[in-house]
Amino acid sequence: MNDKQLAVLVLSCDKYADMWRPFLLQFRRFFPTENYTIYLGSNLAQCKEPGVIPILSGNDLDWSTSLKRILNQIKEPKLFIILEDLFLESPIDKVGFQSALSCMAEKDALHIKYWAIPIHLEVTENPKVGLYPKGAPYRATVCGFWDREYLTSLLIEGENPWNFEILGSYRTSYSDRFYGLTQPLCEYRNMIEKGCWIPQSLKWASENRIELAIDKRPLLTRGNKLISNLKMVYFGLMRRLPWHWRVSLMNKLRRILISY
């Protein structure tokens, strides 16, 4: 796959405009950005950082509508999608990255996960890439390598990112060509949770001299953190169950523990 077929999409929104510059500075340290077109999608505020093509979705009606409008303005058939609050903290695994590109080109992959994989992947001829089983949960994640047209067709207007990753995964149940890297593509740091700074991530940013607009949002409170920890326990328990049981159980419990 050549660099004209794959583009990078940094998915964002206007309220996180303060994150664009520090994210891009960190991203350029570890990702071969010189080889790929970089888009940054937002609503009405335009990213003016050098080397970035801004894409505006217009008024923020809902997440999926905005993403559809952004995707429709991109010409490249394949995308590497990442969020603006996920800061890279290690170099990209070059072998893993090239394996993903080969899978996109040779298998015409619809989606490749590049971070944590919650289930066992089926073995392929490439030890770096595994096949994601049909019907398994968590098949659709916002971040990842995507076929642009397929992702566009998968979106239903009115959904938020969490709807998409649960319900969108159900919609992929019978689709082929879903894969995942067997090892994470790199290490990253999640900076924001529920609209609040994550204290440990702020400390990491300070230690690495990454300048942030701290006054833009509050710190994550203990109450929010407790809810977040309960969710992580929930997901940890779900991952230990056979995924066939998990899908049924998730339908019953997700409304209790997660606001969709």
pLDDT tens digits, residue range 214-240? 999 999 986 555 555 555 555 555 555
- Give just the sign of the alpha carbon dihedral 50, 55, 56, 57: negative
Whether residues 151 and 42 share a domain: the answer is yes
pLDDT at position 223 is 58
Q: What is the pTM of this model?
A: 0.86
**Would you state the structure tokens that stand for residue 47, as one six-digit string?**
């990213």
Which domain range does residue 32 map to?
6-219
pLDDT at position 118 is 77
Whether residues 122 and 183 share a domain: the answer is yes
Whether residues 185 and 236 share a domain: the answer is no
**Would you state the structure tokens that stand for residue 130, as one six-digit string?**
């595994």
Q: Is 109 left (phi over 0), alpha (psi -120 to 50) or beta?
A: beta
Answer whether residue 236 is part of any domain. Answer: yes
- Residues of the chain predicted below pLDDT 70: 2, 222-260
- Which residues is 188 bridged to in the sheet? 88
Whether residues 238 and 186 share a domain: the answer is no
The total of structural domains in the chain comes to 2
Q: Kindly list the distances between the CA atom of residue 179 and the CA atoms of 3, 8, 108, 248, in Å, as whole numbers in the listed order.
A: 21, 19, 11, 23
Rounded-to-integer distance, Cα 17 and Cα 67, Å: 17
Write the CATH number for 93: 3.90.550.10
Whether residues 81 and 166 share a domain: the answer is yes
- Give just the sign of the alpha carbon dihedral 58, 147, 178, 9: negative
Answer whether residue 135 is part of any domain. Answer: yes
Answer whether residue 1 is part of any domain. Answer: no
Q: Which residues contact 125 (CB under 8 A, 6 or more apart)?
A: none
Answer whether residue 191 is part of any domain. Answer: yes
- Which residues is 60 bridged to in the sheet? none
